[in-house]
Structure 1
Protein backbone atom coordinates (compact mmCIF):
# COMPACT_ATOMS: atom_id res chain seq x y z
CA UNK A 1 0.00 0.00 0.00
CA UNK A 2 1.30 3.45 -0.96
CA UNK A 3 1.75 6.11 1.64
CA UNK A 4 -0.63 9.05 1.21
CA UNK A 5 0.80 12.04 -0.60
CA UNK A 6 2.15 14.76 1.63
CA UNK A 7 -0.19 17.71 1.96
CA UNK A 8 0.51 20.57 -0.40
CA UNK A 9 2.64 23.21 1.28
CA UNK A 10 2.24 26.65 -0.37
CA UNK A 11 5.70 27.58 0.91
CA UNK A 12 7.35 24.90 -1.27
CA UNK A 13 9.44 26.51 -3.99
CA UNK A 14 8.33 26.37 -7.61
CA UNK A 15 11.11 26.29 -10.17
CA UNK A 16 11.68 26.54 -13.91
CA UNK A 17 14.83 26.17 -16.00
CA UNK A 18 15.22 28.12 -19.22
CA UNK A 19 17.99 28.19 -21.82
CA UNK A 20 18.65 31.67 -23.21
CA UNK A 21 20.76 31.98 -26.37
CA UNK A 22 21.41 35.71 -26.74
CA UNK A 23 21.39 39.04 -24.89
CA UNK A 24 18.18 40.05 -26.72
CA UNK A 25 16.48 36.86 -25.54
CA UNK A 26 17.67 37.63 -21.99
CA UNK A 27 15.99 41.05 -22.28
CA UNK A 28 12.87 39.36 -23.60
CA UNK A 29 12.90 37.03 -20.59
CA UNK A 30 13.00 40.15 -18.40
CA UNK A 31 10.01 41.61 -20.26
CA UNK A 32 8.04 38.37 -19.74
CA UNK A 33 9.06 38.26 -16.08
CA UNK A 34 7.78 41.83 -15.61
CA UNK A 35 4.26 40.60 -16.44
CA UNK A 36 4.35 38.35 -13.36
CA UNK A 37 5.65 40.99 -10.96
CA UNK A 38 3.77 43.42 -8.74
CA UNK A 39 4.57 45.92 -6.01
CA UNK A 40 6.13 44.15 -3.04
CA UNK A 41 8.05 41.58 -5.07
CA UNK A 42 11.72 40.92 -4.36
CA UNK A 43 13.80 39.42 -7.16
CA UNK A 44 17.30 38.18 -6.32
CA UNK A 45 19.69 37.74 -9.25
CA UNK A 46 22.87 35.70 -9.09
CA UNK A 47 25.41 34.60 -11.64
CA UNK A 48 28.98 35.12 -12.74
CA UNK A 49 30.23 38.50 -13.91
CA UNK A 50 28.87 39.03 -17.40
CA UNK A 51 26.19 36.37 -17.03
CA UNK A 52 23.35 38.74 -17.95
CA UNK A 53 21.90 40.00 -14.65
CA UNK A 54 21.76 43.63 -15.75
CA UNK A 55 20.53 42.67 -19.23
CA UNK A 56 17.66 40.75 -17.64
CA UNK A 57 16.91 43.74 -15.40
CA UNK A 58 16.95 46.06 -18.43
CA UNK A 59 14.19 43.92 -19.98
CA UNK A 60 12.35 43.91 -16.68
CA UNK A 61 12.42 47.72 -16.64
CA UNK A 62 11.09 47.79 -20.21
CA UNK A 63 8.31 45.39 -19.26
CA UNK A 64 7.38 47.40 -16.17
CA UNK A 65 7.42 50.63 -18.17
CA UNK A 66 9.80 52.56 -15.94
CA UNK A 67 11.67 55.78 -16.59
CA UNK A 68 15.38 55.90 -17.20
CA UNK A 69 17.91 53.60 -18.75
CA UNK A 70 18.50 50.53 -16.61
CA UNK A 71 22.25 50.22 -16.19
CA UNK A 72 24.40 48.47 -13.64
CA UNK A 73 24.25 50.37 -10.33
CA UNK A 74 27.61 48.96 -9.22
CA UNK A 75 29.08 52.27 -8.08
CA UNK A 76 25.92 53.94 -6.79
CA UNK A 77 24.67 50.67 -5.24
CA UNK A 78 20.98 51.41 -5.98
CA UNK A 79 18.85 53.22 -8.55
CA UNK A 80 15.13 53.94 -8.44
CA UNK A 81 13.28 53.94 -11.76
CA UNK A 82 9.80 55.51 -11.35
CA UNK A 83 6.93 54.07 -13.34
CA UNK A 84 5.84 55.96 -16.45
CA UNK A 85 2.32 54.57 -15.95
CA UNK A 86 0.35 53.16 -13.07
CA UNK A 87 2.72 50.30 -12.30
CA UNK A 88 5.24 50.04 -9.48
CA UNK A 89 8.66 51.69 -9.57
CA UNK A 90 11.72 49.49 -10.05
CA UNK A 91 14.45 49.62 -7.40
CA UNK A 92 17.62 48.12 -8.89
CA UNK A 93 20.36 47.25 -6.39
CA UNK A 94 23.85 45.89 -6.98
CA UNK A 95 25.06 44.37 -3.71
CA UNK A 96 28.39 43.18 -5.18
CA UNK A 97 30.45 45.68 -3.17
CA UNK A 98 28.51 45.10 0.04
CA UNK A 99 30.10 42.46 2.23
CA UNK A 100 27.62 42.14 5.08
CA UNK A 101 24.04 41.04 5.30
CA UNK A 102 20.89 43.06 5.70
CA UNK A 103 22.50 45.23 8.41
CA UNK A 104 24.91 46.73 5.88
CA UNK A 105 22.06 47.29 3.45
CA UNK A 106 19.83 49.10 5.97
CA UNK A 107 20.97 52.48 4.66
CA UNK A 108 19.28 51.62 1.36
CA UNK A 109 15.87 51.44 3.12
CA UNK A 110 14.85 48.45 1.01
CA UNK A 111 12.36 47.41 3.68
CA UNK A 112 10.64 50.78 3.19
CA UNK A 113 10.75 50.60 -0.63
CA UNK A 114 9.65 46.98 -0.96
CA UNK A 115 5.88 47.30 -0.31
CA UNK A 116 5.33 49.78 -3.16
CA UNK A 117 8.13 48.74 -5.55
CA UNK A 118 9.57 45.82 -7.42
CA UNK A 119 13.03 45.41 -5.89
CA UNK A 120 15.71 43.63 -7.93
CA UNK A 121 18.98 42.84 -6.15
CA UNK A 122 22.00 41.62 -8.06
CA UNK A 123 24.43 39.62 -5.88
CA UNK A 124 21.82 39.58 -3.11
CA UNK A 125 22.21 36.03 -1.83
CA UNK A 126 23.09 36.00 1.84
CA UNK A 127 22.28 39.71 2.09
CA UNK A 128 18.57 40.39 1.57
CA UNK A 129 16.67 37.18 2.30
CA UNK A 130 15.51 38.64 5.61
CA UNK A 131 13.44 41.26 3.76
CA UNK A 132 10.75 38.71 2.89
CA UNK A 133 10.17 34.97 2.76
CA UNK A 134 8.35 35.48 -0.53
CA UNK A 135 10.88 36.14 -3.25
CA UNK A 136 11.94 35.11 -6.69
CA UNK A 137 15.47 33.80 -7.12
CA UNK A 138 16.97 33.93 -10.59
CA UNK A 139 20.28 32.14 -11.12
CA UNK A 140 22.05 32.69 -14.43
CA UNK A 141 24.84 30.31 -15.35
CA UNK A 142 27.21 30.59 -18.27
CA UNK A 143 30.35 28.69 -19.11
CA UNK A 144 33.09 30.60 -17.29
CA UNK A 145 35.95 31.60 -19.54
CA UNK A 146 34.00 31.13 -22.77
CA UNK A 147 33.33 34.66 -23.96
CA UNK A 148 32.09 33.50 -27.37
CA UNK A 149 29.22 31.38 -26.04
CA UNK A 150 25.99 33.35 -25.58
CA UNK A 151 24.12 30.40 -24.02
CA UNK A 152 22.86 30.95 -20.48
CA UNK A 153 21.07 28.48 -18.24
CA UNK A 154 18.55 30.39 -16.15
CA UNK A 155 16.83 28.87 -13.12
CA UNK A 156 13.88 30.80 -11.75
CA UNK A 157 12.69 29.72 -8.30
CA UNK A 158 9.70 31.18 -6.52
CA UNK A 159 9.78 30.95 -2.73
CA UNK A 160 6.85 31.47 -0.40
CA UNK A 161 3.09 31.52 -0.75
CA UNK A 162 3.21 34.42 -3.25
CA UNK A 163 4.86 32.16 -5.83
CA UNK A 164 3.27 28.80 -4.91
CA UNK A 165 0.53 29.13 -7.51
CA UNK A 166 2.43 31.31 -9.99
CA UNK A 167 2.58 29.99 -13.54
CA UNK A 168 6.27 30.36 -14.32
CA UNK A 169 5.81 28.47 -17.58
CA UNK A 170 4.94 31.80 -19.25
CA UNK A 171 8.63 32.66 -18.89
CA UNK A 172 9.67 29.84 -21.21
CA UNK A 173 7.42 31.00 -24.08
Structure 2
Protein backbone atom coordinates (compact mmCIF):
# COMPACT_ATOMS: atom_id res chain seq x y z
CA UNK A 1 0.00 0.00 0.00
CA UNK A 2 2.93 2.31 0.67
CA UNK A 3 4.03 1.93 -2.97
CA UNK A 4 0.60 3.11 -4.14
CA UNK A 5 0.47 6.16 -1.86
CA UNK A 6 4.04 7.11 -2.75
CA UNK A 7 3.27 6.62 -6.45
CA UNK A 8 0.25 8.92 -6.15
CA UNK A 9 2.40 11.68 -4.67
CA UNK A 10 5.14 11.18 -7.27
CA UNK A 11 2.48 11.13 -9.99
CA UNK A 12 1.02 14.47 -8.89
CA UNK A 13 4.48 16.02 -8.80
CA UNK A 14 5.39 14.72 -12.26
CA UNK A 15 2.01 15.72 -13.72
CA UNK A 16 2.49 19.43 -12.98
CA UNK A 17 4.47 20.01 -16.18
CA UNK A 18 1.77 18.15 -18.13
CA UNK A 19 -0.86 20.36 -16.51
CA UNK A 20 0.99 23.57 -17.41
CA UNK A 21 1.68 22.53 -21.01
CA UNK A 22 -1.91 21.31 -21.46
CA UNK A 23 -3.19 24.60 -20.05
CA UNK A 24 -1.11 26.49 -22.64
CA UNK A 25 -2.32 24.17 -25.40
CA UNK A 26 -5.95 24.42 -24.34
CA UNK A 27 -5.76 28.19 -24.17
CA UNK A 28 -5.26 28.51 -27.90
CA UNK A 29 -7.04 25.38 -29.08
CA UNK A 30 -9.78 26.50 -31.45
CA UNK A 31 -11.23 23.13 -32.47
CA UNK A 32 -12.51 20.14 -30.54
CA UNK A 33 -11.32 20.20 -26.94
CA UNK A 34 -12.46 16.61 -26.54
CA UNK A 35 -10.07 15.48 -29.27
CA UNK A 36 -7.24 17.68 -27.94
CA UNK A 37 -7.77 16.41 -24.39
CA UNK A 38 -7.79 12.79 -25.56
CA UNK A 39 -4.62 13.25 -27.63
CA UNK A 40 -2.64 14.98 -24.89
CA UNK A 41 -3.91 12.61 -22.20
CA UNK A 42 -2.86 9.62 -24.29
CA UNK A 43 0.56 11.01 -25.20
CA UNK A 44 1.46 12.73 -21.92
CA UNK A 45 0.15 9.87 -19.78
CA UNK A 46 1.71 7.27 -22.06
CA UNK A 47 5.08 8.99 -22.13
CA UNK A 48 5.11 9.49 -18.34
CA UNK A 49 4.40 5.79 -17.88
CA UNK A 50 6.84 4.69 -20.58
CA UNK A 51 9.66 6.97 -19.48
CA UNK A 52 9.34 5.72 -15.90
CA UNK A 53 9.74 2.16 -17.17
CA UNK A 54 12.59 3.17 -19.50
CA UNK A 55 14.34 4.94 -16.63
CA UNK A 56 14.12 1.78 -14.58
CA UNK A 57 15.68 -0.23 -17.42
CA UNK A 58 18.42 2.36 -17.96
CA UNK A 59 18.96 2.69 -14.23
CA UNK A 60 20.34 -0.80 -14.12
CA UNK A 61 23.39 0.24 -16.14
CA UNK A 62 23.46 3.72 -17.63
CA UNK A 63 22.22 6.06 -14.89
CA UNK A 64 25.23 8.38 -14.88
CA UNK A 65 25.08 9.02 -18.64
CA UNK A 66 21.31 9.62 -18.68
CA UNK A 67 21.41 11.93 -15.65
CA UNK A 68 24.11 14.06 -17.29
CA UNK A 69 21.98 15.14 -20.25
CA UNK A 70 18.30 14.65 -19.39
CA UNK A 71 17.62 18.19 -18.12
CA UNK A 72 19.52 19.82 -20.99
CA UNK A 73 17.45 17.95 -23.58
CA UNK A 74 14.14 18.74 -21.87
CA UNK A 75 15.03 22.42 -21.39
CA UNK A 76 16.12 22.81 -25.02
CA UNK A 77 12.89 21.28 -26.33
CA UNK A 78 10.77 23.54 -24.12
CA UNK A 79 12.77 26.66 -25.09
CA UNK A 80 12.36 25.92 -28.80
CA UNK A 81 8.62 25.30 -28.70
CA UNK A 82 7.98 28.11 -26.18
CA UNK A 83 10.06 30.54 -28.21
CA UNK A 84 8.22 29.63 -31.40
CA UNK A 85 4.83 30.11 -29.74
CA UNK A 86 5.87 33.46 -28.24
CA UNK A 87 7.28 34.69 -31.55
CA UNK A 88 4.12 33.69 -33.40
CA UNK A 89 2.00 35.37 -30.72
CA UNK A 90 3.78 38.68 -31.32
CA UNK A 91 3.87 38.29 -35.10
CA UNK A 92 1.34 40.33 -37.10
CA UNK A 93 1.68 38.28 -40.26
CA UNK A 94 -0.01 35.26 -38.75
CA UNK A 95 -3.69 35.11 -37.91
CA UNK A 96 -4.14 31.62 -36.53
CA UNK A 97 -2.60 30.03 -33.48
CA UNK A 98 0.53 27.93 -33.79
CA UNK A 99 -0.27 24.28 -34.35
CA UNK A 100 1.06 22.48 -31.32
CA UNK A 101 -1.20 19.57 -32.15
CA UNK A 102 0.91 18.30 -35.02
CA UNK A 103 2.53 14.96 -34.28
CA UNK A 104 6.10 16.31 -34.05
CA UNK A 105 5.12 18.97 -31.50
CA UNK A 106 3.09 16.47 -29.47
CA UNK A 107 5.97 13.99 -29.32
CA UNK A 108 8.47 16.75 -28.51
CA UNK A 109 6.30 18.07 -25.68
CA UNK A 110 5.67 14.53 -24.45
CA UNK A 111 9.40 13.89 -24.22
CA UNK A 112 10.08 17.25 -22.60
CA UNK A 113 7.41 16.79 -19.94
CA UNK A 114 8.41 13.21 -19.15
CA UNK A 115 12.17 13.59 -18.64
CA UNK A 116 11.61 13.79 -14.88
CA UNK A 117 9.75 10.47 -15.06
CA UNK A 118 12.88 8.96 -16.60
CA UNK A 119 14.84 10.11 -13.56
CA UNK A 120 12.18 8.66 -11.24
CA UNK A 121 12.48 5.33 -13.04
CA UNK A 122 16.25 5.40 -12.53
CA UNK A 123 15.59 6.03 -8.84
CA UNK A 124 13.26 3.03 -8.76
CA UNK A 125 16.08 0.88 -10.14
CA UNK A 126 18.46 2.02 -7.41
CA UNK A 127 15.82 1.41 -4.74
CA UNK A 128 15.03 -1.99 -6.27
CA UNK A 129 11.36 -1.08 -6.73
CA UNK A 130 9.50 -2.91 -9.49
CA UNK A 131 7.99 0.04 -11.41
CA UNK A 132 5.02 -1.58 -13.14
CA UNK A 133 2.22 -0.37 -10.82
CA UNK A 134 3.88 2.99 -9.99
CA UNK A 135 4.45 3.78 -13.68
CA UNK A 136 0.79 3.15 -14.53
CA UNK A 137 -0.34 5.31 -11.60
CA UNK A 138 2.02 8.09 -12.77
CA UNK A 139 0.69 7.81 -16.33
CA UNK A 140 -2.96 7.92 -15.28
CA UNK A 141 -2.45 10.97 -13.07
CA UNK A 142 -0.60 12.76 -15.89
CA UNK A 143 -3.43 11.94 -18.30
CA UNK A 144 -6.06 13.30 -15.88
CA UNK A 145 -4.05 16.49 -15.27
CA UNK A 146 -3.62 16.93 -19.04
CA UNK A 147 -7.38 16.83 -19.56
CA UNK A 148 -7.87 19.33 -16.74
CA UNK A 149 -5.25 21.62 -18.29
CA UNK A 150 -6.88 21.54 -21.73
CA UNK A 151 -10.30 22.50 -20.36
CA UNK A 152 -9.03 25.13 -17.92
CA UNK A 153 -6.80 26.65 -20.58
CA UNK A 154 -9.70 26.68 -23.02
CA UNK A 155 -11.77 28.83 -20.69
CA UNK A 156 -8.92 31.34 -20.33
CA UNK A 157 -8.09 31.25 -24.05
CA UNK A 158 -11.42 32.74 -25.07
CA UNK A 159 -10.79 35.69 -22.77
CA UNK A 160 -7.24 36.45 -23.94
CA UNK A 161 -7.48 35.89 -27.70
CA UNK A 162 -4.14 36.01 -29.54
CA UNK A 163 -2.27 36.98 -26.36
CA UNK A 164 -2.76 33.41 -25.20
CA UNK A 165 -0.02 32.25 -27.61
CA UNK A 166 2.40 34.59 -25.88
CA UNK A 167 1.24 33.35 -22.46
CA UNK A 168 1.56 29.72 -23.54
CA UNK A 169 5.03 30.33 -24.95
CA UNK A 170 6.15 32.01 -21.73
CA UNK A 171 4.76 29.11 -19.68
CA UNK A 172 6.82 26.64 -21.73
CA UNK A 173 9.93 28.82 -21.46
CA UNK A 174 9.48 29.10 -17.68
CA UNK A 175 9.14 25.33 -17.37
CA UNK A 176 12.30 25.05 -19.51
CA UNK A 177 14.13 27.41 -17.13
CA UNK A 178 12.95 25.38 -14.15
CA UNK A 179 14.25 22.20 -15.77
CA UNK A 180 17.52 23.85 -16.82
CA UNK A 181 18.30 25.13 -13.33
CA UNK A 182 17.74 21.68 -11.83
CA UNK A 183 21.12 20.70 -13.30
Instruction: Give me the TM-score of the superposition, normalised by structure 2.
Output: 0.22
More helix by share: 2
More strand by share: 1
RCO greater where, 1 or 2, for CA within 8 Å and sep 6 or more? 2
